[in-house]
Chain A
Amino acid sequence: MSEQPRFPTESGVPDGFQYMHPAYIKNFGNWAYHDRPRPGVLHHVAKSGDEVWTVRVGTQRQLGPYEINLLCDIIDQYADGYVRFTIRSNMEVSVTDEAKVQPLIDAFEDAGYPVGGTGNSLTMISHTQGWLHCDIPGTDASGVVKALMDELYDEFRSEDMPNRVHMTTSCCQINCGGQGDIAINVQHTKPPKINHDLVANVCERPSVVARCPVAAIRPAIVNGKPSLEVDEKKCICCGACFPPCPPMQINDPEHSKLAIWVGGKHSNARSKPMFHKLVAAGIPNNPPRWPEVTEVVKNILHTYKADAKNWERIGDWIERIGWPRFFELTELPFTKFHIDNWTGARKSLNASTHIRF
């Protein structure tokens, strides 16, 4: 290129104040309390007496110019021209006049964007890129989320759960979708298939060997070429070798399954934060609508809704009722795979006579 390259301005994180609703700026650090007049609406009252109503709107996360203009037109016409996004890709649009709330809700819903996701609802599923853009995905992300949110639409728009339900999906075991009350993650069940012709050219072999959590990979000469081999008895089929070495293909249309994990919780409320735990696996990766996943998720949600006490997250609920009752109530099979054997796993075993009959 003949043109002079432009040096970047390393401006870093933009200052949020320049795009912030004026009522947020005026009352920054001086809010008194909040309540929720209806599902999908938060009402915050400042110490100054100022009030803001915030309407939370579910989106498909991936937005094009049509969607952005459609949503921005609504925000300009019915609200004040400002929006923020939650960590779960919901939009939050604030107004300072209560009379504007209902017309704003109506405008979003008339445009096909659901209002909800607040309080004790099932909010938008946080998810990853999947087949749309990831280089190592075992499944799609947006598709699983769309299929599930269609089925759980009413739970997004109401606040009928015992406590909030945060769901996540992840297209490989790295679990970029994160911890969740219910997490739907790819679980590979067969060791990688190695294309020995490519390994030497594509992979830095020592770092692939180092990446394996169970030391199952070792350098080898295969068909006269330097390559890698996997001790398939040791291999836990985690796929950690695949990102640094794409010729170690872990994804398999049949054997890359989906597993469901429950009880993850980020908040410190009541119990300390918790990691999610395995409850179901071997679920087929079945696009475009993954009906087998939906069935298990709905079962867990309905059991939780019927049995948990007020304010118990799924993890809190299972801690109270115990795992035997969880498997009894959900009728999900309990298997040897539910008993952890990773480092430190004995801490997860029952070392007491505390048994519910």
Chain B
Amino acid sequence: MNKKQKNLLVRIIVAAVFFVPVWLISEGIIRVEMPRWALFALFLISYLTVGHDILRKAALGVKNKKPFDECFLMTVATVAAIALGEYGEGVAVMLLYQVGELFQSVAVGKSRRSISELMDIRPDYANIEGEDGKLERVDPDEIEVGSLIVVQPGEKIPIDGTVEEGTSALDTAALTGESRPRSVKAGDAVLSGSINLSGVLRLRTTAAFEESTASKILDLVENAASRKSKSENFIAKFARIYTPVVCFAALALAVLPPVFIALTGIGMSGYEGIGQVFRDWVLRACTFLVISCPCAVVISVPLSFFAGLGGASNQGILIKGSNYLETLSSVSTVVFDKTGTVTRGNFEVTGVHHAEMDRARLLELAAHAECHSSHPISLSLQRAYGKEPDPLRVSDVEEISGHGVLAAVDGQQVAVGNEKLMTRIGAEALPCHEAGTVIHVALNGDYAGHFLIRDELKDGAKETVAALQKAGVKRVVMLTGDMHKVAEQVADEVGISEFRAELLPQDKVNAVEELLAENAGKGKVAFAGDGINDAPVLSRADIGIAMGALGSDAAIEAADVVLMDDDPRKIAKAIAISRKCLRIVRENIIFALGVKAVCLILSALGLANMWIAIAADVGVMILAVLNAIRCLFVKRL
């Protein structure tokens, strides 16, 4: 508790100590003879102790011509009650109101802190080594790109960099949600925000502090709460209208019915005189004013969203705004990019077919022909070859985009590529009976066989589809630039029934646009990709999810949700979190407004007094806040 809260707590206790015995006496529960003025004085002490700041703020509100704030409402309601001789009710309402305020302030402060602890990856300092070998702590802001910094065991890595010296294990849980430590050695890139567990590391920084992963994540998370959702805007607008409306209703209630009764005499039977009629209706109006406080409703919605965003980021899911959390919850179609999302993008040579010559020799020639290319498929051939190709043996390299490579290796004309390349050079390619990417080879224009290259499925790719369906996603579509046969096989393995294959990058945008059109009015379309080459698709979809995209600025910029690792199951988890969060938001809105509406009706009918009104107000607020905090618990979704 901070100073303000402690102060309020003391005032509440002191006021309660005065209030309870005096109230018991005034109700006749304890029989003590006491003059009426003494009772009043004791009530007044209690009232002023607990409520003097409210009275002051109400006065300031009137002075500044902004009367419809809660303080004003509470002041009018309680002062009117006391003036009508209902000392007990007047003081109790103020007391309970302050209890509610205190609870709210403590609860919100606590959840604010626990959420920021979840995201506590801000490094406070960086170590640089002086000439005498001593470490000096400096502000990470001052470290220039390319400097050498030292990270000791137990410290946070302050700035992105590559390891120059040392080996260690890193705890990357705060960044990726992955609990297994990651081992690093010289040459590895490390991200700021991870915690160095075992050894001393010397890092060469590769970014400025501002541009480092930890700063970027914090920036993103902190800005997320200011992109407000529709529910938040709705509730803010609602509060703006609700309070004045209820106030005028209270005024009408205090004046119109008693005047009507006095003029017509209808309904007079229950009252002893006209004065009592007014007294009764003014008290009902005071109850209205107590109910008109909007804070219970207003606090619960942003708190739910904030807790949801915090809980998600703790799981390695960064959602860039409450509005995206809201949209995510109504996703009915999820579109995947195959490579990097469902499959690893790690190609492996799994077979050599129709080769009449020695297979190792064929691989050697192909690997040499491809030795200048960094295409994932070329790299897979080079890996399969196992040795470093000798570039001196290769000449006359010609890369034909979308076809393959022509080159002279050891004086032989080697062509490595797809069927189109074979047709182009007049070699007859034999088809492959297995699914996978097929790379044909021709030597001096004669067909020499082909390699079968396959991508591995990611861990969890199979569970992802089931988890998405469980989270309420109706349609899962896979997009790929790969061949139909490969797409079919992958889709089959992971259980995706719908896919579009052989798409060029711009076709993917079109495909997503078609799905958006088909889905209009039926829910939102999310696109998940690895952020490489798919920024346009990420921004075109209702929700763009970038996976494992910490390295790619373009993807982080274009995406609405960033998964810090590349586990596809997190897509389903993000949707599940958003659904839970929105369910809680709806519960809170309906519950809070429902209780308020019921109380308004009951008090207008004279069935609810101020006790019930304030208990409902504070009770609703406490329950709504507790319910909102549930958004934080998303680990098991």
A, B from the same assembly: no
Residues of B with Cβ closer than 8 Å to A?
none
